[in-house]
Amino acid sequence: MLSEKTAKEARPTDKPQKLPHEKGLYLYISPKGGKSWRFDYRFADKRCTLTLGQYPEVSFVAALNRHHDAKIKLAEGINPAQAKKIAKHELKTAQKNTFDEVAKAWYDSKADRRSAVWRDTHNLYLKRDLSPVLGNIPLPDITQAVLLGALTKAEARSGVKTADRVRQTAVQVFDYGVRKLKVSANLPRLMTGWAEVPPKMNRPWLKENELPGFFDALEAYPGYLTTKAAARLLFLTLVRKKELVEAKWSEFDLDEALWVVPPERMKMPTEQKENRHNAHDVPLSRQALELLKELKPISSGSEYLFPSNSSLEKPMSPSTLNMMFQRMGFAGLLSPHGIRATASTILNERGYNSDYIEKQLAHVERNSVRGAYNHAKYLAQRRVMMQEWADYLDELRQMKPKGNPA
């Protein structure tokens, strides 16, 4: 029978030695002096050997416990040596499946089909917020406490809304890990209520009876003529703010009363931007054409309709319109993007075809099957609608405002 003392005092010889204990357990001593605990047994009529650990790293008592566990596995019909190999492989695999490695695989699988904004945003959240805390930890070993620590740091740096967007990036990484069998559960998704995230607020917009007050304030605004013209053109075209402030004269055909916004400047998936047929045709009303003719000399030869005050080679800042609306007294009442909501509401209430309205707003068809087959641009119908819309805006401008915005 072995003991801690006999194991410690055993010396190597010129041949391998086996110092037996009981029930297949023994201490193996190599000629070079290495000692290891081993267990010989039979499984499925085959002789097997399980190494239980090196001595003295694994003591005699620890070897007895491991020997006991191995016998329990045998009694349950499990080959303990095979179980050890599987566990070792799983541990090695888990150590490879660190957050950084899985996140890179997820990001690379998506990046080619996503916009530059998508790539930049998720790359920032991964490198700045998630990787410094989670990067070297295998996905299955990440705990709620560890993830909460990363989110708390992100909240302190950038606010709770951004921190929750960081969590949503982690959700997508874990979703990928679950699909690839690298982790069994999506921990970030389970932490949806980790903080009190303020609800998303829709951009403010005006009701029909509030528009005369806005137009009166716009007329009285003492700022740049180009900024005021940009607001008017937003109302007359219903494009997105970014599409307007970056508009170039080369996109306009005044003879055909048409503005063609190239697909690369539109809000759409990257793969759609590469198709020239996805350009957005914007019919120009008589009022829009008159405004553009007035605007041409003011743009001072710039390729942009609304050049920056600091350089003719750059467009107006997207925040310029927001600042003007605030100074007009419409902060929290109307945003540049809210003009689209105002127009959509009024046009729908006036009975215009919703397909024409959605196409004018360049909204992507939510029904994927219908979107795949419906390539109609409804240009002729939208010409009529937008001219009637422009005439209606003229009527509103002539109305007397009812009170001040507040």
Identify the active-site residue in 35, 66, 182, 240: 240
CA quadruple 61, 66, 68, 71: dihedral sign: negative
Q: Could you tell me how many residues make up the chain? A: 406
Active site residue 337: yes
Identify the active-site residue in 180, 189, 267, 383: 267
Q: Mapped to the 3 state alphabet, what secondary structure does 213-247 carry?
A: HHHHHHHHCCCCHHHHHHHHHHHHHCCCHHHHHCC
Question: 71: which 2 tokens?
Answer: 């016998």
Active site residue 277: no
Identify the active-site residue in 337, 377, 383, 397: 337
Active site residue 189: no
Cα–Cα distance measured from residue 192 to residue 184, given in angstroms and rounded to the nearest whole number:
18
Provide the angle, in degrees to the nearest 10, between the axes of the packed helices 144-158 and 160-179.
140
Contact call for residues 38 and 49 (beta carbons, < 8 A): yes
Identify the active-site residue in 5, 11, 207, 373: 373
Identify the active-site residue in 35, 340, 359, 382: 340
Which residues, 6 or more positions from 62, have their beta carbon under 8 angstroms from its beta carbon?
Answer: 53
Active site residue 375: no
Does an H or E element contain 397, and which?
helix 379-398
Active site residue 373: yes
Active site residue 267: yes
Contact call for residues 405 and 333 (beta carbons, < 8 A): yes
Side-chain half-sphere exposure of 355, counting CA atoms within 13 A = 11
Active site residues: 240, 267, 337, 340, 363, 373
